[in-house]
Amino acid sequence: MPEGRLAVNKTYKLYVAGAFPRSESGRSYPVHAADGALLANAALASRKDLRDAVVAARAAQPKWARTTAYNRGQVLYRIAEMLEERAAQFAEQVARSEGLAGAEAGRLVAASVDRLVYYAGWSDKLAQIAGAANPVAGPYFNFSLPEPTGVIGVVAPPGSSLLGLVSVLAPVIVTGNAAVVVASEERPVPAVTFAEVLATSDVPGGVVNLLTGRLAELAPVLAAHRDVDGLDLCGISEQDAAALERAAADNVKRVLRREVAPDWERRPSPRRMLHFVETKTVWHPIGA
């Protein structure tokens, strides 16, 4: 920045239903870099904002689920392309948010692109590993196939501002679910910039909704919401997870607990896609 100029810090908005609204409360909070410098301002989402995001996700999910697995993979591949095009911007944001050297941040951005490509490639192959033609004693065909669970609440990992977010979000949406994501409270800038990538890619509005704000305020509402079908608690500490699980049990949500020491850089597994799919079994009589 030229000497004598004041920094014009960006105030980021929420990402709901394919648009970028302000929080209905009008609140925001300062976001600081790892060195303490003011990085930006982020919207401080309210409980109403979260409920609006769930409504948007519910409206978008059925059509997204009906999209062919191949096409969902193509959408993820398009996200990867656009993330790669803005790799330098993301590397700078990750470096400042997480206090990393430029080369290390660039490596994490590249890993995020690769993670999207990985799950894009699995999109039309999941049915082959999670489905089956079952042997039955009778004149029937019996098939089991994976189907999306519905609307999934995702609490993004607090420490891995981009790679962790991509690692938990990609397997949720590639399997036909819609997501309501609570971004890292202290490191939200890469996440809200990633929302800009989603908005300009082929992801239908409402399939991904991203909120920024106080985790203590948003997570209990997300866990207790009766129109949320599943919950990924990877961004929740072990001591706080039990209370959220009890709230999630009210409508029998599927819950994925946080790993004790998550390593987002390790090789991903297709099993992560299975946490938020259900097995549908169909019987069909064999014709004469």
**What pLDDT is recorded for position 85?**
96
Q: Per the structure, how many domains does the chain have?
A: 1
Assess if residue 16 is contained within a domain.
no
Place of tokens 């259900």: 278
Decide the pairing of beta strands 208-211 and 178-182. Answer: parallel
**What pLDDT is recorded for position 55?**
98
Contacts of 177 (CB under 8 A, 6+ apart): 61, 64, 65, 148, 149, 150, 151, 152, 230, 276
Assess if residue 6 is contained within a domain.
no
- Let me know if 252 is exposed, middle or buried by CB neighbors in 10 A (0-12, 13-18, 19+): exposed
d(CA 62, CA 82): 26
**What pLDDT is recorded for position 127?**
86
Assess if residue 55 is contained within a domain.
yes
Per-residue confidence in pLDDT tens, the chain, 288 aa: 566 677 778 899 999 999 999 999 899 999 999 999 999 999 999 999 999 999 999 999 999 999 999 999 999 999 999 999 999 999 999 999 999 999 999 999 999 999 999 999 999 999 888 877 888 888 888 888 889 999 999 999 998 999 999 999 999 999 999 999 999 999 999 999 999 999 999 999 999 999 999 999 999 999 999 999 999 999 898 888 999 999 999 999 999 987 666 778 888 888 899 999 998 888 888 865
Model confidence, pTM: 0.92
State which residues form the domain around 240.
Answer: 28-260+270-285
Assess if residue 11 is contained within a domain.
no
**What pLDDT is recorded for position 207?**
98
Assess if residue 254 is contained within a domain.
yes
Helix residue spans in 123-251 (DSSP H) = 126-130, 163-174, 189-199, 215-224, 238-248
**What pLDDT is recorded for position 91?**
97
Question: In CATH, what number is assigned to the domain containing residue 45?
Answer: 3.40.605.10
**What pLDDT is recorded for position 261?**
60
d(CA 82, CA 69): 20
Contacts of 137 (CB under 8 A, 6+ apart): none
Assess if residue 10 is contained within a domain.
no
Assess if residue 252 is contained within a domain.
yes
